[in-house]
Amino acid sequence: MVPHIPSDEALTWSKSSYSGGNTTECLEVASLALGVAVRDSKRAAGPRLTFGATAWEQFIEVVRDQASAIPVSRRTS
């Protein structure tokens, strides 16, 4: 099931702690009742993607697995 996205007034958007302050490559995520909404931080009024809770958890697991495979010397801060 695709979660409904409420109006922006009802959402609290968060950036990753890895985004730095002024990066131009950042996503924001807002928790929904049944998942999350994701948007481009540069286009806050632009389109949003929604993911159910299970799909989002699987996505995060894959990203973590891939990140752990990158040697520390090649990771950016």
How do the domains of the chain map onto residue ranges? 24-69
Tokens of 45: 């009024």
Rounded to two decimals, the pTM is 0.69
Tokens of 65: 């697995």
pLDDT at 23: 61
Mean pLDDT by 10 residues, the chain (77 residues): 66 78 76 90 87 92 82 63
What Rg, from alpha-carbon coordinates, does the chain have? 14
CB 51 within 8 A of CB 44: no
Q: State the amino acid at position 19 in one-letter form.
A: S
